[in-house]
Structure 1
Amino acid sequence: MAGVGRDVHSKAISQFSYYQNSGNHYLDSAATTQKPDSVIDAVTQGYRHFCAPVHRGSYPLSEVASSAYETARSKVAQFINASAQQLIFTKSCTESINHVALGWAKSKIKPGHKIWISQMEHNANYLPWLQLCKETGAELKIIEIDSEGHLQIDQTGLWDDSTFLIALTHCSNILGGETPVQEVCDKARNHGIYTLIDAAQSVSHIPIDVKALGCDFLAFSAHKMYGPEGIGALYIDAQRQLEMSPLLLGGGSIESVSEQQIRLREAPHCFEAGSPNLSGALGFAAAVDFLQAFPQGAISCYVGNLGQQFRQALAKQNNITLLPVAGGGNTTSVVSFVVEGVHPHDMAQTAADNDVSIRTGSHCSHLLMSYLKFGAVNRLSLGIYNHSDDIQPLIESINAAADIFA
């Protein structure tokens, strides 16, 4: 597998020409990934050659733009083994989850129902459900983790008849690793419980098949899988789609309008009011092409093994506390840590001064930070362009920060 890893990195890094020349050790891919040249070219070409309104004109350029947009949708849908009709474009994973909370769950949930989320959720998969429960009389419940990062899916009450929905991250943006989404979806289906999977942190390196997974909803964003900012996707099970109302209404979502009545277009168009992000969709599709150029599982293997190398290197430092890996394993694309005697913000600034980009703070995961009893932690997160050569500059930055602050 080491040879496969080298091949993956060598093939990938050639497509990040600007990054190779930046001199920066970018270790913040969980926030947003660098973009390969092919994605940048696709976005540029969208503005240069397809600049016309999508689904709004009968002239040739508009028809070409509309066709390109729908081709991009089909490609992104196929990436997770969904049909094009089951995938809607949004502006982000956050918006996708809000679509589900406000456009579907709000009309179905009742007082006494329970929505379960994990202790590891990003605020994007926490706050919409918290607000919904406050408005509807439902109850928000937390699936706990243990000290080694294992999700406690046998927790009392989780599989009761009152459970309406389980909304679960596939990979934690602080602990990395992987949660048992397949087991949860299988068991939920047997209990008549709906499921939403937040795949924002996993879709860049873990193959996803929504048919095999059997979830009702799956949300992800382009910019965390080497695509452009400002566009995300939401997979909706065909039956759930029939039960769902658009989050927004306006141009592009309406078949006909009278003074007192509207008739919506068929899905997915009824869920995409407003002018579509054509260049974003083209960049999204180009990111899919980029990822699919590698053998299935190769990126996961490379990034996971590299994450293990980072953990091992940090573990050798006697002044570092490592956070556990979700699932209790070692293979991960995310490693979070605290340096003894050095505030995480000071650590991140020292790293930045040495051209090492790491993240610091609560990482929009306040439930987990409260459980861990940390006000802030440092996080490194890896992409396909990273290499073991990035380890030593980080270690040197940690030592420099310790010399200054500890």
Structure 2
Amino acid sequence: MAPSLRHSGKLAKALDDEANWGAELAQLRRLSGLASDAEHRARSGQYKVAQYRKNNTISILIASLKQSNISWYNGFKAIAPKVGIDPNEIEYWPHVADPSKVEYLAVWKPPYDICAQLPNVKVIFNLGAGVDHLLLDDSLPPNIPIVRVVDDNLTRRMGEYVLLQVLYHLREMPKLRVAQAAHEWPEQYDPDAVDVSVGIMGLGEIGGHCAALVQQMGFKTLGWSNSVKNITGVKSYAGLDQLDEFLAETEILINILPHTDATNKLVDYQLLQKLKSDGGLQGATYVAAGRGKTHVETDIVQALKDGCLKSASMDVFEQEPLAADSPLWDLPNVVITPHNAATSDRQTVSEQILTQIANHRNGLPLQNIVDLTKGY
């Protein structure tokens, strides 16, 4: 086993003895600059530097630009023994001794063309719910399956967010916020939920859960997706030929669509004009909770200013974080949240991915494979 790199003195000795370790550490240094990184980490005391064994195979690699690689790495290593995986098989990009040994890749917005450097990857696991960032990467080989996360906690959290926003607009809270700022005490009479219709775009696992919650609160609930869904109390529409009919019956529009070629910039001014404006709320509301690139923000701003939209809640945006000079910040009829409607539980995600890897090694089929033709 290679010496432990716990402080700079031992690191120097380890590097002097590199010839006794074999070629692996030398390659590791060339590929990822592990030596300097390890020395920095050892000095900072933030965490222990991994011990590398001679002939160790790093077959599970974590690669992320937007998330903390180290946090995922520590979580994976802690869970690995529970599912029969050696923690020493796990590393995070770019710390990999032999890229040709990597078989499983766990990613969130990874470096472009990473797979070109990992020639023997068998499966790509997405660390979050949305896979659009992967589908837009044309460097990924089409023959490698992409597996998405199914996280019950994320589904519940999205249901909470959607219900919160629907009730917020039912009670016309944007108007009350303005009145509070002006120290006014208005008379306000809100409609009953049974007199207001809520339409959900995207009736997958998350959207279906949200639809069921909204329906249970008494709202007239509709859903639109690629195919007709059977959800108790929810009127289902499917396909572009039924989209206008769906919109005409919808007062509060909930967008939980994935970002695909078909949904890119789908929600624009023309679509928003088709929403029902003479229902219980006497105006249409838009709630963006799926992917920011499925709508056109300039059109939403225009709709909010000219009355096409009465109000909106937005958790996702075309570019994130939302630019400081975006007019959305200053509109009194908009609720802005920083893409935190629902987040995946890291322990749940890590355990789910490692269990799938263990099962795959034992010849069992992968679950939740992304359909590349649909984009989810």
With the shorter chain as reference, the TM-score category is 0.3 to 0.5
Q: Which entry has the higher C-alpha Rg, 1 or 2?
A: 2
Q: Which has the higher relative contact order, 1 or 2, with Cα contacts under 8 A spaced 6 or more apart?
A: 1
- Structure 1-normalised TM-score? 0.31
